[in-house]
């Protein structure tokens, strides 16, 4: 009887075991489900509120959502109606009658439709009395200059101190073979190394927008007036001439020197007050504030742009907001000699003895003897540069891909960048006399490499950086995240 009872209990034991295993599976899968829901819920929460996520998840959030994990509030210029002085400046800026040809205004070379940069893909613009004269440099953008400091060398003077004379500062740097700028170094380090900074034009020869505005008026290759009195005579006949009187008095039109000066002050006011010169409406600005998402290519490009071992672009084109929330201008406003190849299409370069050496001439004359700065040009902003269509001071390149290839191949494959002489030898740094070539940067990434080394960037990585630079163009319209 006992054996029979045990035999009958075997199926029941098996059933009980199956039930226990089934319950365990349900428990395990239930636990996995709870964990998965928690992960998804947490992920969804951090995706909606990335600023609340721990720093360890920053890269994951960027990859997953394309968002800035730490959005900030940018301190932007106030959008106000233009003053009467700035409205007058707008008239002057767009008036071609102020040129010797009657066909060229400030806006002709600094087109509002092209972010106040060149209107076309020409290496340099034409001007002069017959609009056939060619300059030696491509027009720099007039955008984002409202925070530009005056030209200086060395430490910034204290608020109540007069800055030392430039020639005195430059003499201090002459003990070195060349002035060494370090990409990504602090402003204090650059000052201690007597690296030039600030100023306007490619060579920093003007300190203020008011002074800068007067230069093209009398440049023979630009608006080509003989002197300020020619400009004043045209202003006194302009349709908007009566707008000067409420601002400067009824006799202003009879005082040519003062009329010219006040007209330049009006141009300066227009460039400072008009938000069109500094919109800060790029996708990157919205991304910084958490109002836009980057594509995977744009996100990869941002990282490569900032990476000191890859693009190292942010070493000179600063990409981070200031501690008080001022949006980045994508320039350190310092000067550097890059060794850009000679643009043989320029009329001036048909003379083999002519060289544009930036700070030490020919357009700037006060620093001509400071040869440690020969070949140095101002680092421009990269805002709106994707729309520009012409690059570097001599307009040698016309695409961003060409620009990045210059940085990538200059030292590892110079034959792709520079021409060869009659004997087949590569003529490196062919737009700067040999005696000044020690000024050229060979220390910073990617210029610290040698022939045969692996380039810093792959072709795909260059494309990603270009995708990121495209996010610096104004006029982005964000959609709801």
Q: For the chain, 481 residues long, give each residue's pLDDT as a single digit of tens.
A: 444 444 445 566 565 665 566 665 665 555 555 444 444 444 455 555 565 666 677 788 888 999 999 999 999 999 999 999 999 999 999 999 999 999 999 999 999 999 999 999 899 999 999 999 999 999 999 999 999 999 999 766 554 455 555 555 555 555 555 566 666 665 555 555 789 999 999 999 999 999 999 999 999 999 999 999 999 999 999 999 999 999 999 999 999 999 999 999 999 999 999 999 999 999 999 999 999 999 999 999 999 999 999 999 999 999 999 999 999 999 999 999 999 999 999 999 999 999 999 999 999 999 999 999 999 999 999 999 999 999 999 999 999 999 999 999 999 999 999 999 999 999 999 999 999 999 999 999 999 999 999 999 999 999 999 999 999 999 999 886 5
Q: Answer whether residue 9 is part of any domain.
A: no
Largest Cα–Cα distance of the chain, in whole Å? 134
pLDDT at residue 194 in the model: 87
Taking a C-beta distance cutoff of 8 angstroms, is the pair 122, 334 a contact?
A: no
Tokens of 125: 């613009």
Tokens of 31: 């636990």
Residues 302 and 418 in one domain: yes
Residues 143 and 26 in one domain: no
Q: At what angle do helices 459-469 and 400-409 cross, to 10 degrees?
A: 130
Residues 376 and 319 in one domain: yes
Q: Answer whether residue 389 is part of any domain.
A: yes
- Residue 45 and residue 121: Cα distance in Å, rounded? 47
Angle at 180 between CA 165 and CA 374, to 5 degrees: 65
What is the pTM assigned to this prediction? Answer: 0.85
Residues 469 and 422 in one domain: yes
Q: Answer whether residue 154 is part of any domain.
A: no
pLDDT at residue 1 in the model: 44
Residues 182 and 53 in one domain: no
Number of structural domains, the chain?
3
Domain of residue 395, residue span:
160-197+281-481
pLDDT at residue 424 in the model: 96
| CATH number assigned to the domain comprising residue 260 | 1.10.760.10
pLDDT at residue 159 in the model: 45
Tokens of 112: 């509002």
Strand ranges inside 5-124, DSSP E: none
Q: Answer whether residue 15 is part of any domain.
A: no
Residues 176 and 298 in one domain: yes
Residues 408 and 469 in one domain: yes
Residues 362 and 250 in one domain: no
Of 236, 258, 277, the residue at which a domain comes to its end is: 277
Residues 38 and 185 in one domain: no
- Residue 342 and residue 333: Cα distance in Å, rounded? 23
Q: Answer whether residue 452 is part of any domain.
A: yes
pLDDT at residue 355 in the model: 97
Taking a C-beta distance cutoff of 8 angstroms, is the pair 235, 241 a contact?
A: yes
Of 257, 277, 297, the residue at which a domain comes to its end is: 277
**Phi (first) and psi of residue 127, to 5 degrees:** -155, -150
R_g of the chain, CA atoms, integer Å? 30
Q: Answer whether residue 6 is part of any domain.
A: no
C-alpha torsion angle, residues 418, 420, 424, 425 (rounded to 10): -60
Residues 63 and 167 in one domain: no
Of 259, 277, 295, the residue at which a domain comes to its end is: 277
- Residue 122 and residue 398: Cα distance in Å, rounded? 9
- Tokens 């608020």 belong to which residue? 159
Residues 462 and 439 in one domain: yes
pLDDT at residue 335 in the model: 97
3-state SS string for 256-320 = HHHHHHHHHHHHHHHHHHCHHHCCCCCHHHHHHCCCCCCCHHHHHHHHHHHCCCCCCHHHCCCCC
Taking a C-beta distance cutoff of 8 angstroms, is the pair 232, 259 a contact?
A: yes
Residue 59 DSSP one-character state: H
Residues 184 and 300 in one domain: yes
Taking a C-beta distance cutoff of 8 angstroms, is the pair 83, 269 a contact?
A: yes
Q: How many CA atoms lie less than 13 Å away from 191 in the CB half-sphere?
A: 10
């Amino acid at each position: 009887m006992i054996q029979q009872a045990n035999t009958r209990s075997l199926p029941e034991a098996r059933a009980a075991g199956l039930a226990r295993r089934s319950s365990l599976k349900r428990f395990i899968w239930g636990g996995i489900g709870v964990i998965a829901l928690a992960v998804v819920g947490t992920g969804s929460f951090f995706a909606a509120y990335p600023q609340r996520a721990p720093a360890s998840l920053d890269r994951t959030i960027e990859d997953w959502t394309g968002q800035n994990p730490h959005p900030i509030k940018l301190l932007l210029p106030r959008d106000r109606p233009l003053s009467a002085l700035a409205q007058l400046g707008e008239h002057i800026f767009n008036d071609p009658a102020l040129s010797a040809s009657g066909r060229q205004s400030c806006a002709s070379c600094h087109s509002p439709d092209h972010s106040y940069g060149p209107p076309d893909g020409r290496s340099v613009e034409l001007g002069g009395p017959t609009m056939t004269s060619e300059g030696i440099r491509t027009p720099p953008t007039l955008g984002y200059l409202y925070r530009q400091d005056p030209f200086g060398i060395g430490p910034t003077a204290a608020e109540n101190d007069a800055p030392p004379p430039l020639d005195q500062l430059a003499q201090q740097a002459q003990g070195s073979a060349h002035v060494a700028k370090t990409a990504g170094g602090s402003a204090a380090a650059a000052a201690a190394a007597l690296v030039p900074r600030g100023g306007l034009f490619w060579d920093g020869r003007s300190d203020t927008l008011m002074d800068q505005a007067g230069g093209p008026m009398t440049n023979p290759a630009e608006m080509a007036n003989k002197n300020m009195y020619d400009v004043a005579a045209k202003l006194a006949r302009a349709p908007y001439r009566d707008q000067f009187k409420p601002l400067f008095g009824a006799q202003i039109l009879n005082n040519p020197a003062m009329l010219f000066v006040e007209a330049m002050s009006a141009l300066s006011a227009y460039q400072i007050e008009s938000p069109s010169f500094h919109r800060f409406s790029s996708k990157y600005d919205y991304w910084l504030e958490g109002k836009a998402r980057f594509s995977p290519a744009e996100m990869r490009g941002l990282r490569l742009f900032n990476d000191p071992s890859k693009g190292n672009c942010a070493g000179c084109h600063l990409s981070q907001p200031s501690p008080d929330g001022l949006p980045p201008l994508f320039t350190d406003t310092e000067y550097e000699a890059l060794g850009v190849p000679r643009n043989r299409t320029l009329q001036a370069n048909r003379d083999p003895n002519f060289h544009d050496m930036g700070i030490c001439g020919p357009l700037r004359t006060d620093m001509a003897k400071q040869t440690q700065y020969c070949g140095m040009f101002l680092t421009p902003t990269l805002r709106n540069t994707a729309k520009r269509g012409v690059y570097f001071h001599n307009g040698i390149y016309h695409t961003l891909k060409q620009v990045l290839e210059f940085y990538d191949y200059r030292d590892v494959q110079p034959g792709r960048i520079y021409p060869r002489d009659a004997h087949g030898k590569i003529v490196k740094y062919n737009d700067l006399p040999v005696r000044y070539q020690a000024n050229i940067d060979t220390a910073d990434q990617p210029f610290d490499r040698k022939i045969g080394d692996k380039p810093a960037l792959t072709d795909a990585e260059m494309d990603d950086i270009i995708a990121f630079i495209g996010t610096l163009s104004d006029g982005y319209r964000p959609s709801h995240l």
